[in-house]
Structure 1
Amino acid sequence: MIKDLPPNIVKDIAIAVALEGENAESKVWYVYLINLKNQPIENVLITSKGYGEKEGKLVKTSILRHSIPLVEPNSYKLIEPIDEQTFGLNNEYWLSYYIGRDIFDKKFIFLPESIVDNNFIKLPVINKPGVMIL
């Protein structure tokens, strides 16, 4: 039963959208998983999708699935590139991982127009500008 499961709370794990570079025509963006823990996480599964309204029409992107066998302590892994055209949508990342035999999961949602210069920080571990959800 669900009530018998322990409340495994996700802490010290972040999803970040980082600005990788830019030229006169466009900017290059990547999404990362950041492990700020002092222990590794294993068997990481991430689904990503975009959804919302654009120009008065409901829009959904494809659901992408990613698997990462291991993320070392205080390190990061690339999840996927992201197109600026999706920044006007909700960009959802659903993360599941194991620490030992315990499973953890959390949904991270970048709201429309949240990936903007005003929200930029220097991302920990990655040391690039971007937006992070912890």
Structure 2
Amino acid sequence: MTMKKDIIIPEVTDVYIAVVNEYNDIYKSQDWNAYIINNKDVDLEMVLIVTSGYSEEKTTSLFRKKLEKLPAKSYAKIELLHENLFALNNTFKVSYFEGNKMFDKTFLFKKNTISLKALQAVPLMDVKGVLVK
């Protein structure tokens, strides 16, 4: 019989969530977009992302996104984030398969940490954004 303590959950490395402030050509506006970044040398398969925002008083609805594959050394847009959400804690629960192992991690942007003052270099993207590792 396998006990809970016997289950090995591998550590997520070289996968990040970044929130990037970028120009939207269609709407002629500066938008904040969330991206998942795979900085590994292997593809990620069946990537599931569940996002939500919360505070003591408010909770947003869940947003779900699935990617069949996120190739090695690549990134993909998850969603547009409205600035009203920055006053909340924003979580990105990410699950994926690498080979035949499942990985799982929750990335947290604490409230009021997404801002122009917090921008830093983002791996692979050649842009500045707010990064959670």
Q: TM over 0.5: same fold?
A: yes
Q: Provide structure 1 residue ranges, at least 5 long, that are not aligned to the other structure.
A: none
- Aligned residue pairs, count: 129
For the residue of structure 1 that corresponds to 2:80, the secondary structure is strand
User: Which residue of structure 2 lines up, in the alignment, with residue 99 of structure 1?
Assistant: 98
For the residue of structure 2 that corresponds to 1:87, the secondary structure is helix
User: Which residue of structure 1 lines up, in the alignment, with residue 10 of structure 2?
Assistant: 8
- Deviations 1:55-114, CA, capped at 9 Å, x for gaps: xxx011110111001011111011111101100100000000001110000001100110
- Which of 35, 44, 52 does residue 55 from structure 2 map onto? 52
User: Which residue of structure 2 lines up, in the alignment, with residue 39 of structure 1?
Assistant: 42
Report the Cα distance in structure 2 between the residues aligned to 1:82 and 1:14, rounded to whole angstroms.
Answer: 17
User: Which residue of structure 2 lines up, in the alignment, with residue 68 of structure 1?
Assistant: 67
User: Which residue of structure 1 lines up, in the alignment, with residue 83 of structure 2?
Assistant: 84
Query: Which one-letter code corresponds to 1:29 in the other structure?
Result: W
Moved over 3 A (4+): none
Normalising by structure 2, report the TM-score.
0.90
For the residue of structure 2 that corresponds to 1:60, the secondary structure is coil
User: Which residue of structure 1 lines up, in the alignment, with residue 23 of structure 2?
Assistant: 21
Structure showing the higher strand proportion among its residues: 1
The CA RMSD measured in Å over matched residues stands at 1.7
Normalising by structure 1, report the TM-score.
0.90
1:115 lines up with 2:118 in the alignment: no
User: Which residue of structure 1 lines up, in the alignment, with residue 33 of structure 2?
Assistant: 30
What's the offset of the Cα at 1:21? 1.9
